[in-house]
C-alpha cells in the first residue's frame, strides 16, 4: 500500500445521522466547530459540501481550520418527468461549478435515495429494475457528466444501495456504456457490499477508472438479512449496518489494496451512522483507524 495520509478525507455525516436512519444535514454544531474537531483528530482534509449561496465563506472556513478541501458529491434524483430532470441537471451543473472552486479535478456522482422509494424499502436486490429504465437512467447520468465536464471536473460514478444504480449488473452496465473520459468510478465499499458485490474484486476490475473511494465498514450478516428479509434501508441503518473502519467485518484492507500502488485519488472515510453514542466518538474511531495504518 503506497497511500499517504493526506489522501484521506473525513466526511462527517455522523453529525447529520437521525434516529430514524436518515440524514439531516442541518442538525449538529456549527461548521466551524465540526471542522475544528476534525482537524484536532489529525485529519488533513474534509469531504466538502460547498454551498451555492456562499462558497467562498465555506472554503475560507475549511482553510482556517487547517484542512484541505476534498472532493464533493452530486446526488441525482430520478424522475420520468423531463422538466424535473432538467431541474436536477442544472443543480448538478451548479454543484460542479461550486466544487470546482476547491481545486479538485473530480467529484462523486450518484443516484439519490428518496424516502419511501421501492429500493429504499427493499435495498440491495435491484427492486423493480428493468433494462429499459436502466438505459434511461444511464443516459440521464451521461447528461449530468457532460455538464460536470464542462465545469472542469471529472464525474466518478458512486453506486449506492437504495438507488437505481445499485447491483453489480447495473454498475457494470453504466460504466461499460459511458466513456471513461466522461465518467470515472468512485465506489463505496459499503454500498457495493450491501448489493452482494465483492467490493475489492469490482474495484480491481475498473481500477483504471477509480478517481476516488469511499471507505466504511459494515455488518455483512445484517446486509445479507436485508436481501432476504423485508428490512428497509432506514431500519437496517438503525440496527447498525454501518460501522467505523475496523469495527465491522468488511475487508477494508482488501479494498484499499484493490486501487493499486499507483492510486493518487482521494480516500473518503464516510460512516453514515456510526456505532458510538456521539458523532465525535465515531470520528475519533475513524481517526484511530487511520493512524493505525501508519501512513506517511
Residue-wise pLDDT tens digits, 246-291: 999 999 999 999 999 999 999 999 999 999 999 999 999 999 999 9
For residue 9, the cross-strand partners are: 45, 268
Residue 1: its pLDDT value, please?
60
Q: What is the spatial distance between Cα 230 and Cα 219, in angstroms, rounded to a whole number? A: 17
Query: What length is written for the chain?
Result: 296
| pLDDT band per the 50, 70, 90 thresholds, residue 2 | confident
51-61 mean pLDDT? 96
Strand, helix or coil at 200? Answer: helix
State yes or no: pLDDT of 25 exceeds 80: yes
Which structural domains are found in the chain, ordered by start?
Answer: 5-292 (3.20.20.150)
12-40 mean pLDDT? 95
pTM above 0.95, yes or no: yes
DSSP code at position 23:
B
Contact 49, 270 (CB under 8 A): no
Contact 192, 202 (CB under 8 A): yes
Q: What is the spatial distance between Cα 171 and Cα 9, in angstroms, rounded to a whole number? A: 24
pLDDT digit string, tens, across residues 131-154 = 999 999 999 999 999 999 999 999
Query: Among 204, 243, 200, which Cα is nearest to 220's?
Result: 243
DSSP code at position 123:
T
CB atoms within 10 A of CB 18: 13
* φ and ψ of 94, to 5 deg: -65, -40
C-alpha cell, 195: 448489493
Mean pLDDT value across the chain: 97
Amino acid at each position: 500500500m503506497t497511500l499517504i495520509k493526506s489522501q484521506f478525507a473525513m466526511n462527517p455525516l455522523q453529525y447529520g445521522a437521525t434516529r430514524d436512519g436518515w440524514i439531516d444535514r442541518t442538525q449538529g454544531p456549527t461548521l466551524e466547530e465540526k471542522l475544528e474537531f476534525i482537524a484536532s483528530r489529525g485529519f488533513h482534509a474534509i469531504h466538502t459540501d460547498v454551498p451555492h449561496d456562499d462558497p467562498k465563506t465555506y472554503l475560507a472556513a475549511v482553510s482556517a481550520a487547517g484542512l484541505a478541501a476534498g472532493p464533493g458529491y452530486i446526488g441525482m434524483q430520478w424522475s420520468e418527468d423531463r422538466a424535473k430532470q432538467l431541474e436536477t441537471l442544472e443543480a448538478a451543473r451548479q454543484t460542479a461549478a461550486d466544487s470546482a472552486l476547491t481545486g479538485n479535478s473530480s467529484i462523486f456522482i450518484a443516484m439519490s435515495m428518496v424516502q419511501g422509494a421501492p429500493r429504499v424499502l427493499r435495498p440491495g436486490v435491484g427492486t423493480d429494475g428493468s433494462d429499459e429504465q436502466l438505459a434511461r437512467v444511464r443516459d440521464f447520468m451521461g447528461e449530468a457528466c457532460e455538464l460536470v465536464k464542462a465545469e472542469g471536473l471529472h464525474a466518478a460514478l458512486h453506486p449506492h444501495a437504495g438507488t437505481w444504480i445499485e447491483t453489480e449488473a447495473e454498475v457494470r452496465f453504466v460504466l461499460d456504456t459511458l466513456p471513461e473520459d466522461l465518467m470515472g468510478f468512485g465506489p463505496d465499499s459499503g454500498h457495493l457490499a450491501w448489493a452482494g458485490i465483492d467490493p475489492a474484486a469490482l474495484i480491481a476490475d475498473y481500477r483504471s477508472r477509480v478517481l476516488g473511494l469511499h471507505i466504511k465498514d459494515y455488518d455483512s450478516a445484517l446486509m445479507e438479512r436485508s436481501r432476504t428479509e423485508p428490512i428497509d434501508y432506514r431500519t437496517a441503518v438503525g440496527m447498525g449496518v454501518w460501522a467505523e473502519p475496523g469495527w465491522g467485518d468488511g475487508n477494508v484492507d482488501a479494498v484499499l489494496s484493490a486501487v493499486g500502488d499507483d492510486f493518487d485519488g482521494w480516500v473518503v472515510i464516510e460512516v453514515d451512522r456510526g456505532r458510538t453514542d456521539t458523532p465525535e466518538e465515531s470520528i475519533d474511531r475513524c481517526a484511530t483507524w487511520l493512524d493505525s495504518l501508519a501512513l506517511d
